[in-house]
Chains A and B, each alone.
Chain A
Amino acid sequence: MMEKRVEDLAVTGNRRVGEGIFVIDLVAPEHLPEIMPGQFVQALVTESPATFLRRPLSVHDVVYSSDTISLLIQIAGPGTERLSRLKPGEKLNLIYPLGNSFTMPVKGEKVLLAGGGCGMAPLLYLARRIVEAGVLPEFALGFRNRSRILQHGEFLKLGPVHLSTEDGSEGYRGFLTDIPAFREGKWDRVYCCGPEPMMKAVARLCRDRQIFCEVSLENLMACGMGICLCCIVDTTSGNLCSCTDGPVFNINNLKWQTSV
């Protein structure tokens, strides 16, 4: 059993990285517990009367040397709007780390990290860990247009980035599954996180070519701890919790990958 905590972390940074999208840096009061790529936190939103439940947020990045964890937040309602206004010096209470993690590749494998929109949040930390494991990942990132591109510079530090935009204003015109490097590459593993239609398209491509593929799902959650049974995913083993059995699932275990 991995260590789980509920504690206040100190906000040390909050920067806007896109339209309604922020990266918040948080420092733990003690050394961080081990956090695996793909895991998430449950953030307690205060001073937002319309927000009752915690907000599940992917871990975007971790820096152990400074005990810092970064979250990528898109404003989707009053709760995330409040989080976007967090200032250095404020505290944010987290339950963390929660959920399972991506399966790490082994040396010599050709690995693609595919994602888009702010759903690609967990891919940065995943990439960092993959690089540490001695594998050079590539990225296929899809956005609506040039102004929506997120964290391009951060990903470029870790490997080659193949971009697509729906209007062709940057990179390849179309969806990320249209990117030739994605379609034609001999990938051993594809990790995907983004909007559901994108994940389904990626899953279909990978299934057709029998490529190992894991996706990170974002279901509605109440507890995040495997108690409430609200965030269920229809899998080949029945209803599973995306919070504890996921959020990372192999596409072969998901019912939706057979129906797309």
Chain B
Amino acid sequence: MADLRIKIGSLEFRNPVILASGTCGYGAELADFMDLSQLGGIIVKGTTLEPREGNPYPRMAETASGMLNAVGLQNKGIDYFEQTIYPQLAGYDTHVIVNVNGNTVEDYVELSSRIDRLDAIPAIELNISCPNVKRGGMIFGTNPASAREVIAAVRKVYSKTLIVKLSPNVTDITEFARISQEEGAEAVSLVNTLLGMAIDARTMRPKLSTVTGGLSGPAIKPVALRMVWQTARAVSIPVIGLGGIMNAEDALEVIMAGAAAVQIGTASYIDPRTAVKVVRGIESFLSERDFDSVSRIGGIINRI
């Protein structure tokens, strides 16, 4: 049996398959369909200091091979998370990672330092790439100076594994990956959704209340794959690849492009068991090809 374990900083994951934030709730929603302990980890939904209602309905539009969303980080805030959600998560036999959001650097810092105190959360994913909020989010992730400022500030207060989630809505994503590495992040995850929009020609209205939203699904996989490949060559910290991974073959491609791990996002809506199927698919690929570990195929396209 091939060794599926991977390491992000000092944190070891059972395998390289992680549920992506915003598409797995707090885990329980998908635990109806699969055993979460079969996964490398889960990144629970985007959390902010204060409760947020998100954007008005409609927030979703189906597109060719994908979907747009404009949820806008609806969540009940960190107090509710600590009191109600966290005690349930603490029992999961997989790494539970929180996706951290804020309007200001101070928000990110305060939230990260509070999560630093939660023993059962071994890592955070710093979200500087949400395209659906008016303040914070992608504004940090598309300006190099702002990105540097927020990552450096969070690094000072956060002692565990820090992953920075990058936006694809930039000219050169590797610049933001380098900044993340320089400021002490253990890994980068990419890509968040691509900014897009949809119009209903019959009603002559935008399909989303916010007009624009984030595109996900297989439609974005070639873009994600390209950015993972570029980034993995530009930095030495691990790259966690996501964007349109629907099955094990897609995940293998992202790993072969240079990702140390992958996240399963929108695919869980189509088949809530996707992540477990991806783990099994990677395992059988490695066995069939006589690879003794998943790390053997990481970035393999650059070597053969």
Contact = CB atoms under 8 A, between A and B. Distances in A.
Interface in B27-76: 29-30, 32-33, 53-54, 56-67, 69, 71, 74
Interface residues of B, number: 34
B122 interface: no
B45 to A, nearest CB: 8
Given A6-B272, A6-B273, A222-B67, A229 B30 contact: no
Interface residues of A, number: 28
Contact of B53 (A224, A228, A238): A238
A227 B23 contact: yes
B270 A54 contact: yes
A4 B217 CA distance: 24
Contacts of B57: 219-220, 231-234
B29 A53 contact: no
Given A225-B29, A232-B54, A50 B64 contact: yes
Interface string B254-298: 000000000000101111110000000000000000000000000
A222 B215 CA distance: 13
A199 to B, nearest CB: 16
Given A222-B266, A232-B54, 16 more contacts: A4-B33, A6-B271, A50-B64, A52-B66, A52-B217, A53-B67, A222-B69, A223-B268, A225-B25, A226-B29, A227-B24, A227-B268, A227-B269, A228-B69, A230-B71, A239-B74
Of A50, A223, A227, the most chain B CB neighbours within 10 A belong to: A227
Interface string A188-208: 000000000000000000000
A227 B74 contact: no
B127 to A, nearest CB: 15
Contacts of B64: 50, 52
Given A53-B269, A239-B53, A225 B69 contact: no
Nearest to B61: A220
B58 A220 contact: yes
A55 to B, nearest CB: 10
